[in-house]
Amino acid sequence: MKPIDQPAPTPQNPPDPAMGPILNAVPPSEGFIRTWIVGNPYHPAVLHPGDPVQIEREADNLHDANAILIRDGKGLSAGYLPHYDADYLAPLFDQGVIQIEARLLFPPADDAGRIPVLLRVRFTAVGLSLVKADSTTTPAALMHNLFAAAWRDLSRFNPGPLRQLREQLRPLAHNCALKPITKLLYRLLKEPLASAANLEPLPNPFCVVN
């Protein structure tokens, strides 16, 4: 098992001035994903809202090679990230593209026993180099280029129309054979666009001052 807790290195290569302002934009080096811990009733850890938790890759899991295990502060197993998130996060971590931290959200578990958790996803230098245009002409490449452009230059886009476009493309993002990095960008866009679209802000436990 490999822990997912190392900080991301600073990118070393500055953008090329000849490529223009949008292609040149330095993408945000981190973002947030709101998701769930599943299966907690079958694990020994007792979790409380706001607690930091540990994340481990469990590549030797016989049921899911992309499994990402959650542990509490004492190292007790608490459950797993959902398969639909682990499916793209695991290969990106294995390739050294991202690092992840996690903290429990409020409120506590829902009726299905799922526990809300916020992931802080940090791109490594390798990861930032992947947030670029795909030169192929496939539908998956088109989707990647759209989300990559939005993430690279997020501050320059009008968040309302971009949020609507993201929602309209949701069926394709879930059903198309997208690369893991494209799926990650699609997920990362949700948090800043929701915050900028005059929606009720959600608490971010990473910003709580102890």
Q: What integer pLDDT is reported at residue 37 of this predicted model? A: 95
Q: What integer pLDDT is reported at residue 157 of this predicted model? A: 79
CA distance 39 to 201: 28
Q: Is the pLDDT of residue 47 over 80?
A: yes
Lowest mean pLDDT among 29-38, 61-70, 160-169, 200-209: 200-209
Residue 160: Cβ within 10 Å count? 12
* Mean pLDDT score of the chain: 81
| Best-predicted range by mean pLDDT (6-20, 71-85, 161-175) | 71-85
Q: Domain map of the chain by residue range?
A: 2-8+22-207
Contact 119, 36 (CB under 8 A): no
CA distance 117 to 104: 4
Nearest to 92 by CA among 13, 187, 163: 187
The pLDDT tens digits for 54-109 are 999 999 999 999 999 999 999 999 999 999 999 999 999 999 999 999 999 877 77
Question: Cis (ω within 30 of 0) for the bond into 107?
Answer: yes
Indicate the fold that domain 2-8+22-207 takes in CATH: Alpha-Beta Plaits (3.30.70)
Residue 121: Cβ within 10 Å count? 24
pTM confidence score: 0.79
Q: Are strands 30-37 and 52-57 parallel, antiparallel or unpaired?
A: unpaired
